[in-house]
């Protein structure tokens, strides 16, 4: 290593041999996959971007695009493997789509390496900030564009590290992702400068400053975690997990047995005197308003004096006799008062198919032969036991949508209830991946989140993101499978602390997603600048 600092020109830069670059890009994909369920090696996320950065640094944008896309495929194809249970074509297409979002950060890596930015004074910090803003900014875009797919963002991998995830109360998941990406940027700038054998005299100080910033962020998160969770009342909620196999879910011959299981489990849960009973998404696969058997079941259960929230298909006929179907959450009170929330964020190619009438062949990609209609109202339910407690429901993948949860809380909800049916993905890590996304809705909004699944993860999360609160995950969730690998049928009763008069809105609820959108603007701008510079070169 030279004793004094020197700056290499672009023509003197070396790029790694192509086989080595491919191996490094593959390593990034493997590390990213390892950071999320099923492996959940959270440490891997803190180093995952470094190999890709070394692989593409100094290369042309075309080569960088190919390497980063490959890394994305290595990450997303196994991560989203559970989707093949519904559609193989959709699994591959969605994986490839998500992999595209790894290309813009690779362009920034490539240009920073080409210009030897890490080897300049101030370059280590500058590089780390540019990489963090670009990576997280494009995660934000992926989470919003074309209905959005905010899945397995970098910060989600840290869900067990409570000191880090408290920052979601300020800026959502991107506020956690940016810390992880920033560390990756610092590590890459150090590794690249070492590889080029050129180190600026300020390098040590810059890495020290970067490390101190991350340490302060972690300590501030621990300080937030140390503040007690406000609780004006404890709500006792009974969650029923019927574990109906997906191939029986919409089979009329199975309905009677399904209803008998629901009644049996509900009566057992009611014996523990809950304040609220919950069934999962589409627990009743028929239109409860017009079908005698499910309506009789609901009346039978609520006759015990406990309100019931359940998922069902809801239908509405217009003046011309046309029927619109909704995926709904329904609150039935003992006095037979019925309130409805209709799912607003439908799953593309799951609950509706765009252009189905024009291209009927697209309908073959999904299991349903009709489209659902989205709702438009952020319903807030209220129950009177043990006090008036307002809450809202999210259905299925709506718990991945941070703006939707924020809107519910702004309307007055003081806890969030998720009804879902993850039986589509039995036997895969889709259950766990889905669950960990929803943990951040609790932290962002500063309210507890309760989750009731047909099969998957049934349990609750406190406002700090701790599964099961202080009791821990074992007490706060039902097992996904039994000793024989079969989905667990049962119920879970949880005590959820609710803040009413003592609740304070988080910065996320008060001010909204200004931080994620700022990162998105910076990330997109940096990508465009790099593209223009490369084009002119």
H/E run at residue 97: helix 88-100
Q: What is the pLDDT of residue 355?
A: 59
> Per the omega criterion (within 30 degrees of 0), is the bond before 167 cis?
no
Give the predicted TM-score (pTM) of the model: 0.93
Tokens 């009804």 correspond to 419
DSSP structure class, residue 485: S
Helix axes 18-35, 61-79, angle to 10 degrees: 30
Active site residue: 343, 351, 398, 444, which one?
343
Report d(CA 292, CA 25) in Å as an integer: 58
Which has the closest alpha carbon to 148: 523, 341, 399, 422?
399
Looking at the DSSP assignment, which residues form a beta bridge with residue 323? 317
The pLDDT value recorded for residue 470 is 81
**HSE-CB for 328 with a 13 A CA cutoff:** 25
Tell me, yes or no, if 396 is annotated catalytic.
yes
| Active-site annotation holder among 111, 281, 351, 444 | 281
Which one of the listed residues 396, 444, 452, 464 is annotated catalytic?
A: 396
Q: Is 343 a catalytic residue?
A: yes
| pLDDT averaged over every residue in the chain | 91
**What length is written for the chain?**
537
Calpha distance 158→162 (Å, rounded) = 8
Enumerate the β-bridge partners of residue 460: 450
User: What are the C-alpha distances in Å from 58 to residues 13, 54, 184, 226, 345?
Assistant: 7, 9, 18, 45, 42
For the chain (537 residues), the mean pLDDT of every run of 10, in chain order, is: 39 76 98 98 98 96 97 98 89 96 98 89 93 98 93 98 98 98 96 81 89 97 94 95 90 91 97 97 88 91 96 84 88 88 85 65 60 90 87 96 97 97 93 97 98 96 95 92 92 95 94 96 97 89
Instruction: Give me the pLDDT at residue 346, please.
Output: 87
- Which residues, in sequence order, are CB contacts of 55 under 8 Å at separation 6+? 16, 20, 21, 22, 24, 25, 28, 67, 71
Give the CA diameter of the chain: 85
Q: Which pLDDT score is estimated for 202?
A: 82
Q: Is 281 a catalytic residue?
A: yes
What is the full DSSP assignment across 300-351? HHHTTS--EEEEEEEEEE-TTS-EEEEEEEEEE-TT--EEEEE-SSPPBTTT
Beta 416-420 vs 449-453: how paired, if at all?
parallel
- Radius of gyration, CA atoms only, the chain: 25
Spatial separation of the C-alpha atoms in residues 116 and 123, rounded to whole Å: 8
Sign of CA pseudo-dihedral 375, 450, 414, 147: negative
Give the C-alpha separation, 85 to 75, whole Å: 19
Burial 513-531 (b: 16+ CB within 10 A, else e): bebbeebbebbbebbeebe
3-state SS, residue 104: helix
State the residue for tokens 């003992």.
Answer: 334
The residue assigned the tokens 């909004």 is 445
Q: Which of 398, 423, 481 is nearest to 251 (CA)?
A: 423
CB-based contacts of 261-269 (< 8 A; 24+ apart in sequence): 261/489, 262/297, 262/301, 263/297, 263/300, 263/301, 265/240, 265/241, 265/489, 265/490, 265/491, 266/238, 266/240, 266/301, 266/308, 266/491, 267/301, 268/491, 269/238, 269/240, 269/491, 269/493
């Amino acid at each position: 290593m030279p004793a004094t600092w020197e700056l290499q020109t672009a023509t003197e830069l070396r790029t790694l041999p192509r086989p080595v670059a491919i191996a490094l890009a593959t390593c990034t994909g493997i590390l990213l996959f390892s950071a999320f369920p099923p492996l959940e090696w959270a440490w891997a996320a803190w180093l995952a971007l470094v190999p890709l950065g070394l692989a593409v640094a100094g290369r042309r944008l075309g080569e960088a695009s190919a390497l980063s896309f490959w890394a994305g495929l290595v990450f997303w194809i196994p991560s989203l493997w559970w989707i093949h249970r519904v559609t193989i074509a959709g699994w591959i297409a969605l994986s490839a789509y998500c992999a595209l979002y790894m290309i813009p950060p690779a362009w920034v890596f490539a240009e920073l390496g080409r210009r030897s930015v890490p080897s300049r004074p101030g370059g280590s910090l500058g590089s780390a900030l540019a990489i963090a803003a670009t990576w997280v900014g494009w995660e934000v875009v992926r989470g919003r564009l074309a209905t959005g797919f905010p899945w397995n963002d970098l910060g989600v991998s840290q869900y067990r590290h409570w000191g880090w995830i408290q920052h979601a109360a300020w800026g959502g998941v991107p506020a956690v992702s940016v810390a992880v990406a920033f560390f990756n940027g610092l590590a890459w700038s150090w590794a690249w400068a070492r590889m080029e054998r050129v180190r600026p005299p300020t390098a040590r100080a810059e890495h020290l400053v970067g490390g101190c910033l991350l340490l302060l962020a972690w300590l501030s998160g621990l300080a937030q975690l140390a503040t007690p969770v406000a609780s004006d009342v404890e709500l006792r909620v009974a969650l029923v997990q019927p574990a109906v196999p997906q191939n029986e879910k919409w089979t009329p011959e199975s309905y009677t047995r399904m209803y008998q299981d629901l009644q049996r489990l509900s009566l057992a849960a009611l014996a523990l005197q809950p304040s609220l009973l919950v069934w999962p998404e589409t627990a009743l696969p028929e239109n409860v308003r017009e079908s005698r058997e499910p309506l009789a079941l609901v009346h039978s259960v609520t006759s015990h004096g406990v309100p019931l929230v359940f998922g069902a298909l809801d239908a509405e006929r217009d003046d011309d006799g046309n029927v619109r179907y909704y995926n709904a959450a329904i609150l039935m009170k003992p006095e037979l008062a019925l309130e409805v929330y209709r799912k607003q964020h439908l799953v593309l190619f799951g609950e509706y198919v765009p252009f189905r009438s024009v291209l009927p062949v697209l309908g073959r990609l999904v299991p349903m032969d009709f489209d659902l209609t989205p709702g438009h109202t952020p319903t807030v339910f209220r129950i009177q036991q043990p006090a008036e407690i307002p809450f809202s429901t999210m259905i299925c993948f709506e718990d991945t949508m941070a703006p939707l949860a924020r809107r519910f809380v702004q309307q007055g909800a003081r806890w969030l209830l998720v009804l879902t049916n993850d039986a589509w993905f039995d036997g895969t890590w889709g259950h766990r991946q889905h669950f960990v996304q929803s943990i951040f809705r609790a932290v962002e909004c500063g309210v507890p989140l309760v989750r009731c699944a047909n099969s998957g993860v049934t349990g609750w999360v406190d406002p700090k993101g701790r599964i099961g609160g202080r009791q821990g995950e074992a007490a706060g969730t039902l097992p996904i499978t039994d000793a024989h690998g079969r989905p667990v049928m049962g119920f879970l009763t949880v005590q959820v602390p609710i803040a009413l008069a003592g609740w304070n809105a988080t910065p996320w609820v008060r001010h909204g997603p200004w931080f994620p959108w700022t990162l998105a603007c910076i990330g997109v701008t940096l990508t465009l600048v790099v593209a223009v510079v490369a084009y002119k070169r």
